[in-house]
Protein backbone atom coordinates (compact mmCIF):
# COMPACT_ATOMS: atom_id res chain seq x y z
CA UNK A 1 0.00 0.00 0.00
CA UNK A 2 2.74 2.50 0.91
CA UNK A 3 4.25 1.89 -2.53
CA UNK A 4 1.27 3.52 -4.23
CA UNK A 5 0.65 6.32 -1.73
CA UNK A 6 2.77 9.01 -3.47
CA UNK A 7 0.99 8.45 -6.80
CA UNK A 8 -2.39 8.39 -5.08
CA UNK A 9 -1.66 11.71 -3.38
CA UNK A 10 -0.52 13.22 -6.70
CA UNK A 11 -3.66 11.93 -8.42
CA UNK A 12 -5.83 13.46 -5.70
CA UNK A 13 -3.97 16.77 -6.16
CA UNK A 14 -4.65 16.52 -9.88
CA UNK A 15 -8.37 16.17 -9.10
CA UNK A 16 -8.17 18.99 -6.56
CA UNK A 17 -7.02 21.49 -9.21
CA UNK A 18 -10.37 21.94 -11.00
CA UNK A 19 -12.23 21.64 -7.69
CA UNK A 20 -10.20 24.44 -6.10
CA UNK A 21 -10.74 26.64 -9.17
CA UNK A 22 -14.47 25.96 -9.20
CA UNK A 23 -14.72 26.77 -5.48
CA UNK A 24 -12.89 30.07 -6.06
CA UNK A 25 -15.16 30.98 -8.98
CA UNK A 26 -18.30 29.98 -7.05
CA UNK A 27 -17.33 32.19 -4.12
CA UNK A 28 -16.80 29.32 -1.69
CA UNK A 29 -13.75 31.05 -0.28
CA UNK A 30 -13.17 29.05 2.89
CA UNK A 31 -13.69 25.76 1.03
CA UNK A 32 -11.25 26.82 -1.70
CA UNK A 33 -8.68 27.75 0.95
CA UNK A 34 -9.08 24.34 2.60
CA UNK A 35 -8.85 22.42 -0.70
CA UNK A 36 -5.77 24.39 -1.74
CA UNK A 37 -4.11 23.88 1.66
CA UNK A 38 -4.84 20.14 1.58
CA UNK A 39 -3.57 19.85 -1.98
CA UNK A 40 -0.40 21.72 -1.04
CA UNK A 41 0.06 19.46 1.97
CA UNK A 42 -0.37 16.40 -0.23
CA UNK A 43 2.56 17.61 -2.35
CA UNK A 44 4.81 17.68 0.69
CA UNK A 45 3.43 14.34 1.90
CA UNK A 46 3.91 12.48 -1.38
CA UNK A 47 7.49 13.72 -1.65
CA UNK A 48 8.24 12.69 1.91
CA UNK A 49 6.76 9.22 1.50
CA UNK A 50 8.53 8.66 -1.83
CA UNK A 51 11.92 9.66 -0.40
CA UNK A 52 11.49 8.08 3.04
CA UNK A 53 10.50 4.65 1.76
CA UNK A 54 12.15 4.82 -1.66
CA UNK A 55 8.90 4.29 -3.55
CA UNK A 56 9.48 6.43 -6.60
CA UNK A 57 8.05 5.49 -9.98
CA UNK A 58 8.12 6.66 -13.57
CA UNK A 59 4.41 7.51 -13.28
CA UNK A 60 5.07 9.60 -10.18
CA UNK A 61 7.97 11.36 -11.92
CA UNK A 62 5.55 13.00 -14.36
CA UNK A 63 2.31 12.90 -12.35
CA UNK A 64 3.66 14.96 -9.42
CA UNK A 65 4.86 17.98 -11.45
CA UNK A 66 1.79 17.86 -13.71
CA UNK A 67 -0.51 17.90 -10.67
CA UNK A 68 1.49 20.79 -9.17
CA UNK A 69 1.39 22.84 -12.37
CA UNK A 70 -2.32 22.27 -12.96
CA UNK A 71 -3.18 23.22 -9.39
CA UNK A 72 -1.22 26.44 -9.72
CA UNK A 73 -2.54 27.31 -13.19
CA UNK A 74 -6.16 26.58 -12.29
CA UNK A 75 -5.92 28.65 -9.11
CA UNK A 76 -4.14 31.58 -10.78
CA UNK A 77 -6.76 31.58 -13.55
CA UNK A 78 -9.64 31.45 -11.08
CA UNK A 79 -8.09 34.22 -8.95
CA UNK A 80 -7.77 36.36 -12.06
CA UNK A 81 -11.42 35.72 -12.91
CA UNK A 82 -12.54 36.92 -9.47
CA UNK A 83 -10.38 40.05 -9.89
CA UNK A 84 -7.78 39.17 -7.26
CA UNK A 85 -4.77 38.43 -9.49
CA UNK A 86 -3.63 40.82 -12.24
CA UNK A 87 -3.68 39.61 -15.84
CA UNK A 88 0.05 40.27 -16.30
CA UNK A 89 0.88 37.85 -13.46
CA UNK A 90 -1.42 35.14 -14.81
CA UNK A 91 0.13 35.53 -18.27
CA UNK A 92 3.66 35.42 -16.85
CA UNK A 93 2.94 32.21 -14.94
CA UNK A 94 1.27 30.61 -17.97
CA UNK A 95 4.03 31.67 -20.39
CA UNK A 96 6.80 30.46 -18.08
CA UNK A 97 5.19 27.04 -17.64
CA UNK A 98 4.40 26.75 -21.36
CA UNK A 99 8.00 27.67 -22.23
CA UNK A 100 9.38 25.08 -19.79
CA UNK A 101 7.12 22.39 -21.25
CA UNK A 102 7.99 23.37 -24.83
CA UNK A 103 11.70 23.43 -23.92
CA UNK A 104 11.43 19.95 -22.44
CA UNK A 105 9.91 18.55 -25.64
CA UNK A 106 12.36 20.42 -27.86
CA UNK A 107 15.28 19.03 -25.85
CA UNK A 108 13.83 15.53 -26.19
CA UNK A 109 13.45 16.06 -29.95
CA UNK A 110 17.07 17.27 -30.16
CA UNK A 111 18.16 14.19 -28.17
CA UNK A 112 19.52 16.34 -25.35
CA UNK A 113 18.98 15.05 -21.84
CA UNK A 114 16.39 16.97 -19.80
CA UNK A 115 17.19 18.47 -16.43
CA UNK A 116 17.70 15.84 -13.76
CA UNK A 117 16.24 18.07 -11.03
CA UNK A 118 14.49 21.44 -10.82
CA UNK A 119 16.63 24.52 -10.35
CA UNK A 120 16.71 26.21 -6.94
CA UNK A 121 15.17 29.35 -8.42
CA UNK A 122 12.44 27.16 -9.90
CA UNK A 123 11.70 25.69 -6.49
CA UNK A 124 11.79 29.16 -4.93
CA UNK A 125 9.41 30.42 -7.60
CA UNK A 126 7.00 27.59 -6.83
CA UNK A 127 7.13 28.36 -3.11
CA UNK A 128 6.44 32.05 -3.75
CA UNK A 129 3.56 31.19 -6.09
CA UNK A 130 2.04 28.84 -3.50
CA UNK A 131 2.38 31.50 -0.80
CA UNK A 132 0.82 34.09 -3.11
CA UNK A 133 -2.19 31.90 -3.88
CA UNK A 134 -2.55 30.95 -0.22
CA UNK A 135 -2.44 34.63 0.81
CA UNK A 136 -5.05 35.59 -1.78
CA UNK A 137 -7.33 32.74 -0.71
CA UNK A 138 -6.83 33.67 2.94
CA UNK A 139 -7.82 37.26 2.18
CA UNK A 140 -10.90 36.09 0.30
CA UNK A 141 -11.90 33.61 2.98
CA UNK A 142 -11.73 36.14 5.79
CA UNK A 143 -12.73 39.27 3.83
CA UNK A 144 -9.38 40.94 4.48
CA UNK A 145 -8.92 44.16 2.57
CA UNK A 146 -5.24 44.84 1.97
CA UNK A 147 -3.20 46.12 -0.93
CA UNK A 148 -1.54 43.10 -2.47
CA UNK A 149 0.24 44.68 -5.44
CA UNK A 150 3.61 44.08 -3.79
CA UNK A 151 2.85 40.38 -3.39
CA UNK A 152 1.98 40.16 -7.10
CA UNK A 153 5.23 41.93 -8.04
CA UNK A 154 7.32 39.63 -5.83
CA UNK A 155 5.58 36.57 -7.26
CA UNK A 156 6.10 37.92 -10.77
CA UNK A 157 9.79 38.61 -10.14
CA UNK A 158 10.47 35.06 -8.92
CA UNK A 159 8.48 33.63 -11.84
CA UNK A 160 10.43 35.76 -14.32
CA UNK A 161 13.82 34.91 -12.79
CA UNK A 162 12.94 31.24 -12.88
CA UNK A 163 11.85 31.44 -16.51
CA UNK A 164 15.05 33.23 -17.49
CA UNK A 165 17.16 30.61 -15.69
CA UNK A 166 15.41 27.73 -17.45
CA UNK A 167 15.65 29.56 -20.79
CA UNK A 168 19.40 29.99 -20.25
CA UNK A 169 19.85 26.28 -19.65
CA UNK A 170 17.77 25.48 -22.72
CA UNK A 171 19.75 27.87 -24.93
CA UNK A 172 23.09 26.56 -23.67
CA UNK A 173 21.94 23.01 -24.31
CA UNK A 174 20.66 23.66 -27.80
CA UNK A 175 23.14 26.19 -29.18
CA UNK A 176 26.36 25.44 -27.31
CA UNK A 177 25.93 21.69 -27.15
CA UNK A 178 26.18 21.66 -23.36
CA UNK A 179 24.23 18.97 -21.64
CA UNK A 180 21.92 20.12 -18.83
CA UNK A 181 22.69 18.78 -15.39
Closest CA to 64 of 117, 114, 106, 102: 117
Residue ranges of domains in the chain, CATH in brackets: 2-175 (1.20.120.1760)
> Is the confidence at residue 179, as pLDDT, over 60?
no
Q: Look at residue 177 in the predicted model and tell me its pLDDT.
A: 61
Per-residue pLDDT, 109: 84
Helix residue ranges per DSSP H, 26-86: 29-53, 58-81
pLDDT band at residue 52 under the 50/70/90 scheme: confident
- Is the predicted pLDDT of residue 36 greater than 60, yes or no? yes
Phi, psi of 14, rounded to the nearest 5 degrees: -60, -40
pLDDT of 13 reads: 95
pLDDT tens readout for residues 81-140:
999 999 999 999 999 999 988 988 888 887 777 777 789 999 999 999 999 999 999 999
Mean pLDDT of the chain: 90
Predicted local confidence at residue 70, as pLDDT: 96
- How many helices (H) and strands (E) are present in the chain, helices listed first? 6, 0
- Output 104-108 pairs: Cβ under 8 A, ≥24 positions apart: 106/170, 106/174, 107/170, 107/173, 107/174, 107/180
pLDDT of residue 3: 76
pLDDT number for residue 61? 79
pLDDT tens digits for range 137-170:
999 999 998 888 999 999 999 999 999 999 998 8
Amino acid sequence: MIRHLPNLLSALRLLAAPLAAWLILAGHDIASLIVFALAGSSDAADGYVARRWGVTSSVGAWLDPVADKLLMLFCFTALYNVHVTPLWLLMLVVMRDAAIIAGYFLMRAAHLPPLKAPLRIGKASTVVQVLYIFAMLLMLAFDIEAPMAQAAWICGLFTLLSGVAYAGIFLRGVFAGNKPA
